[in-house]
Amino acid sequence: MMGGDRLDGGPRSAIVVGAGIVGLSTAWFLQERGVEVTVVDRSGVAAGASWGNAGWVSPALTLPLNSPAVLRYGLRSLLDKAAPLHIPLKADPALMTFLMQFARSCRKSTWRRAVRANVPLNEEAIEAFDVLVANGVDAPVTDAPITAVFRSTRAAEHMLSEMRELEKAGQELHVTGLSGAALREQVPLVSPVITAGLSIDHQRFVDPGRFVHALGRAVVERGATIVTNDVDHVDSSAARVKVSASGADVLTADAAVIATGAWLSKLAGRQVRVPVQAGRGYSFTVPVDRPVVGPIYLPDARVACTPYQGALRVSGTMEFRDPDDAVVSERVDAIVASASPLLDGVRWAERSDVWVGPRPVTPDGRPLIGEVSRGVYVAGGHGMWGLAHGPITGRLLAEHITTGKQPEALREFNPLRRTGR
């Protein structure tokens, strides 16, 4: 067992349900504090939203989804199946409850509260990745600016004004305006319709699948067992926490962490009153004719592009649908239609690795991190920023579990709150 500075009276064993970036980070940092860990996941390591996302470790872009502008855009695009934000019109009581709470949370005051809540996580997000890489997680984390590109200077100024809200909340930003030759030198793929850009510096990116699998291997090498099974119940009524899985023996431990992403509400039960809904994102890989040295953001299309194995991973859309639904090919076509006019030298017809994954979204823009009953904790609902905030969430939650003291940075993420409170 690695680590060894577990505090007397803290848990000696824990079961982490969920083998994505949040669950495995929590497992790793628990091990660092001397806790014996078992990880259980229904499909294995990085099987959900942790595999095919854009891979950005981007503190400067962690803007919550629940802004008034998103609500206005969502209402306008409700009947447009090609819109980046898509809400299927079907009878789904859970989705309707979520959407009503989301609409009520799309107020400037609620959005700014979520912005402020993210800042402490942003401040330590990159350092938490550094700790993992320096201690056995064998996967590269690449420093590079993220370049947002626009058809007009006005659109660039609008995005910059949103980012300034993070700065007002205490987030350090390093942003440089680009145009002309400087823009095309930094992003050789931009098409002639692009006239302005923002270079968002001091950001990083990873191959998310590679990184999470490396994290999983590190957790096993440090003494953990990863079990593939579908957990259907977590019970803390007895002296120890019990985790029940389909067709398997009941697992017991001193503590349990539910980090199941878009499935969190189902397993956490009625104690968690803020619903977690699947905001499904799509990605695919396309060959390019010119090298890509760093991530490219297309805000007009709401599409993220990342260097990936000599090609380009293209990620986009927000689709509120059951997390287990299959790929909807029209959503992929919509990403291509919106992004292709903005980039040249991309062979869109040769796309491969088409993927869909459910990002866990809360109505008020704040994840759920903390204790919900004796010895049972949850960690999820990070929306589009689960990868960036996964390691720091794991580190802070491990501190909470082993010391019994809630870190100040987690106070805004109380999992027992009602939406917006």
Quick one: pLDDT band at residue 1, thresholds 50, 70, 90?
very low
What pLDDT score does 73 carry?
A: 65
What pLDDT score does 273 carry?
A: 94
pLDDT tens track for 134-159? 999 999 999 999 999 999 999 999 99
> Which residue blocks in 20-170 are alpha helix, DSSP H?
21-32, 68-76, 93-105, 108-134, 153-168
Pairing mode, strands 196-200 and 146-150: antiparallel
Strand partners, 150: 196
pLDDT tens track for 217-231? 999 999 999 999 999
Q: Is it the case that residue 91 has pLDDT exceeding 50? A: yes
How many other C-beta atoms are found inside a 10 Å radius of the C-beta of residue 352? 9
Q: How far apart are CA 416 and CA 421, in angstroms?
A: 10
What's the gap between Cα 125 and its chain centre?
12
Half-sphere exposure of 323 (CA within 13 A, CB side): 20
13-76+83-413 to CATH, choices 3.50.50.60, 3.40.50.10490, 3.40.190.10, 1.10.490.10: 3.50.50.60
pLDDT tens track for 261-303? 999 999 997 889 999 999 999 999 999 999 999 999 999 899 9
What are φ and ψ of residue 25, in 5° steps? Answer: -65, -40
| Average pLDDT of every residue of the chain | 92
Element (DSSP H or E) covering residue 390: helix 386-403
Half-sphere exposure of 159 (CA within 13 A, CB side): 25
How many other C-beta atoms are found inside a 10 Å radius of the C-beta of residue 99? 17
Is residue 24 within 8 Å of 420, Cβ to Cβ?
Answer: no
What pLDDT score does 47 carry?
A: 87
SS3 of 330, please? helix
Q: Which two tokens stand for residue 370?
A: 């903390």
324: CB partners within 8 A, 6+ apart: none
What's the gap between Cα 375 and its chain centre?
25
What's the gap between Cα 122 and its chain centre?
13
What are φ and ψ of residue 98, in 5° steps? Answer: -60, -45
Q: How far apart are CA 289 and CA 348, in angstroms?
A: 11
pTM of the model: 0.94
What are φ and ψ of residue 68, in 5° steps? Answer: -55, -35
Domain extent listing, the chain: 13-76+83-413
| Residues 38, 42, 47: CA angle, nearest 5 degrees | 100
> Which residue blocks in 152-305 are alpha helix, DSSP H?
153-168, 180-186, 208-221, 264-268
Q: Is it the case that residue 3 has pLDDT exceeding 70? A: no
